[in-house]
């Protein structure tokens, strides 16, 4: 799917591209969820994520992880490829409009049972939530990642976006993606 569209998206990064991957690191004070107030539940969440986000060595920085091709979080791409991918999804080139409508309809919403964050989900995508995670627009979908990464599309404007960072910040102090999407909304999208 990626190759015909000239997208550098990898599930299983070839070894010869390894030196292009930026290492991920946690900012001082990084916490997994800033919505979770209960210390007992926070301890459970931190055990659940364990070494993946909180350990000394982040597995996401290893060659083995990059080569694994895990579809649940092992994809590797630059921000430009991810933004173009979401634009392609919204354009109807990859799936039919009816399928896209089904995927991006809100199927589940409320508070995440694990971390208390307000969430909304379609089928395979997060959809716009009460926090306006995907910017100051009504219709949007995509995926939010650990530590501030945010990728998605505003389908009515057919604009894909991707904020790709290697410095993981806690959600309560991280305005990077929110500010970039606010600036994008100020542009003439017509």
Average pLDDT per run of 10 along the chain, which is 190 residues long? Answer: 89 96 89 76 77 74 91 86 93 90 95 85 95 94 89 93 91 90 85
pLDDT for res 40: 84
- Report the pLDDT value the prediction gives residue 2, as an integer from 0 to 100: 82
Residue 116, pLDDT score: 81
* CATH class (in words) of the domain with range 3-185: alpha beta
pLDDT at 127: 97
Distances in whole angstroms, Cα of residue 49 to Cα of each of 43, 52, 55, 59, 171: 10, 6, 9, 12, 16
The reported pLDDT for the residue numbered 109 is: 96
- Helix, strand or coil, per DSSP, at residue 148: helix
- Distance in angstroms (rounded) separating the CA atoms of residues 177 and 83: 13
How confident is the model at residue 48, as a pLDDT? 74
Torsion of CA 166, 186, 132, 54, to 10 degrees: 10
pTM: 0.87
């Amino acid at each position: 799917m990626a190759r015909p569209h000239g997208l550098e998206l990898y599930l299983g990064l070839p070894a010869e591209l390894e030196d292009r991957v930026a290492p991920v690191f946690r900012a001082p004070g990084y916490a997994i969820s800033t919505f979770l107030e209960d210390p007992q539940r926070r301890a459970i969440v931190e055990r659940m994520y364990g070494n993946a986000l909180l350990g000394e060595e982040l597995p996401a920085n290893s060659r083995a992880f990059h080569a694994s091709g895990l579809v649940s979080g092992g994809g590797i791409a630059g921000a430009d490829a991810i933004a173009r991918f979401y634009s392609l999804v919204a354009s109807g080139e990859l799936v039919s409009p009816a399928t896209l409508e089904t995927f991006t309809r809100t199927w589940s919403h409320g508070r995440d049972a694990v971390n208390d964050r307000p969430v909304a989900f379609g089928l395979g995508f997060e959809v716009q939530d009460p926090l306006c995670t995907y910017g100051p627009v009504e219709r949007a979908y995509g995926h939010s990642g650990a530590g501030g990464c945010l990728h998605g599309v505003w389908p009515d404007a057919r604009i894909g976006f991707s904020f790709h960072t290697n410095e993981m910040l806690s959600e309560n102090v991280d305005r990077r993606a929110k500010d970039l999407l606010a600036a994008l909304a100020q542009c003439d999208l017509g």
